[in-house]
Each structure stands twice: as C-alpha cells, then as structure tokens.
Amino acid sequence: MNEGVKVSVIVPVFNVEKYVRECLISIQNQTLKEIEIILINDGSTDDSIQNISDLIDRDKRIILINQKNGGLSSARNTGLEYAKGEYISFIDSDDYLNDKFLECLYIEAKRENLDIVRGSFQRPKDSDNKLAWEDVDVNKLKPDLVITGGELLKLLSIYNLKMMVWLSLYKRDFLDSNHLRFEEGIILEDVEFMPRALLLARRVRAIKRKNYFYRVREDSILGNIQNSKKHLDAIGQFLKKDLLIKNVNNQESINYLCRALLYSYFSYAREVSITPDFELLNQATKSLSIRGVIPLKSYIKLKIQIFLIKRIGIKQYNSLKMKLF
C-alpha cells in the first residue's frame, strides 16, 4: 500500500459532459489532500474527458483510465484494481461534494477502526436542481454509534432509506479480504452491493453531516422511463433471491432487507404505473408476515391494495392517491 494515500476516490465517467467538471473540482478541493483520484472513462462518446483535460494535466493526483463501455459496475471494479489508498470512496460523476466530505468520513473511520463509515446527503427538491435542499433524515440510523453492518442494514430497511454506495468510505483491506466487488451486467448495482458489504462489516458508523450533493438527472438511468420495467424486474429479482436466504447469522437483517425490497417494489410499480408481479407480491407478503417482519395492520393494508390493483388496474388505483404504509 502507498502509505501516502489515505483515500482512493473512484469516479466512473460516462457521458456527463455537463456535470463532470463541477464534480472533479469538488474532489480536488477536498480538505483531505492525501488522496488519489481515479477517473474511469467508460467509453464516453461526448466531451466529458475533453471538458476536464486541463484539470487532469495540472493535478498529479489524478489517474485517467480509458476502457470500453462496460457499465458502472465494471468501471468501479477497474478502479479498485488500481486503488492504493487505505480507504475507498466511490463518487458518481454527476454529483459533487462539500470540501469536508472525505475528511469527516476519514477521521471517523480511523478513530473507530471502521470497515464502513456512512455519510449523509442533500438533494435538490426540483428537476432544475435549484439550491432548495431537502434533507434526508439520518437520526434513525443511530448516528455516532459504532454498530455492526447487519444492524445498519436493518435500520436502513426498516426506515426505507437509500442504500447508496457513493455515500460511504470503505476500508480497502475489508473489501479485498472479503472479495467484495460489483456484480457486472446488472442494473441497480448499489442495491445488490450494499447488503453484501454490510452483512460482512463488523464495525460501521453513520454520521450526520450532509456533505454529499446528490443530483437527480432527468436523463439518468433511474430517470429514464424506458428502463422502468427493467428496474422493477431487478428489484423483484433481488427480493426473490433474498427471500430464499435462511439459517444465517444475520437472518433478522435479511428479513428486514426483504421488507424494504417489497416496499420498494410496490411503491416503484405505483410510481411508474407498471403492473407488478402479483404472484411475487403475494408470496413475499405472506412470507414476511409469517416471519413477523410485517405487522398485521400493514399486512392487511397491503393485501387490500394488491386486491384493488388487480381488480381495477394500477393507473385507476393511483388516481385514488392512497398512501403505501
């Protein structure tokens, strides 16, 4: 390990010419200076790299790696092959950081010998990304307490909070010793990776400071309605897989993860007005009710909603504006 590098910042870059310069400058301006910035050009076809070429030339901390387009997971895995830092950060190239983002996380990680330390983020309230910020509640995550990754996974699942890879620092030895890499060829990579990482982590912590600025783009993968069915199917596949996990030390955490996936599956289907897989919904609802993860009142309400959607259709159901849970 290069003892001088405290954090390796891995930034996949693909067709983000409007945003990548702001992102890179925010990383360069971090108060934690002992970093390396690994840019993975994942086959961009726009001017993303040209727009930051002057920044790359002037900063010796920046490593540019060009590869054929392989997707977000592939780019992150490539970055891990080159990383030399004690800790790893994954930053999305259309977001940007407060200048103390890395320093705050690194200080906590070192002080408590953490496998993972989770930060907090802010996001625009409207599609124009105006500076009107909506805070995400992290008080439910036992901030400033060191807990196991399984406990944090349970809390994230109970309160349906985001499982974002880019929000945390990861000890590189922890990732390597557990052979943690991103599964390639899938979508919703964070939903697949974060539970695996958390279930293996012995020491994690969440902190309150909202130093990451998460930009929601209308042209992003998650914002593209053409991919909505794929995303719904992906959530359904994760749910099916995790429902089958039994007799593990973190079974309680797996149960709550399944609950979160169920809620996400149903709410996302309603949001994009796509008819869900009723067999999957009924199977998951019944299984989680038997496990005691879904309270009786919520179970009854969910069954009623499933019945109504099946009878009148999801678009008509949405017009009723009933709230999920």
- Token pair listed for 13: 């870059």
User: pLDDT at position 273, please?
Assistant: 76
What tens digit of pLDDT does each residue of 197-241 get? 998 999 999 998 889 998 876 555 444 545 566 667 777 777 777
Q: CA 3: distance to chain centroid?
A: 29
This prediction's pTM:
0.82
- The dihedral over CA atoms of 255, 256, 257, 260, expressed in degrees to the nearest 10, equals 130
Query: What 3-state class would DSSP assign to 127?
Result: coil
- Mean pLDDT, to the nearest integer, of 135-156? 84
What tens digit of pLDDT does each residue of 50-89 get? 999 999 999 999 999 999 999 999 999 999 999 999 999 9
Q: CA 60: distance to chain centroid?
A: 29
CATH 3.90.79.10 fits 7-213, yes or no: no
What tens digit of pLDDT does each residue of 274-287 get? 888 888 888 888 88
The residues spanned by each domain of the chain are 7-213, 225-319
- Mean pLDDT, to the nearest integer, of 165-180? 97
Give every CB contact of residue 159 below 8 A, 6+ residues apart in sequence: 137, 140, 141
- Token pair listed for 307: 């019945």
Residue 129 reports pLDDT greater than 70: no
Cα separation values, 173 from 6, 32, 94, 251, 280, Å = 13, 20, 28, 25, 38
**pLDDT cut 70: percent of the chain above it:** 86
Query: What is the rounded average pLDDT for all residues in the chain?
Result: 85
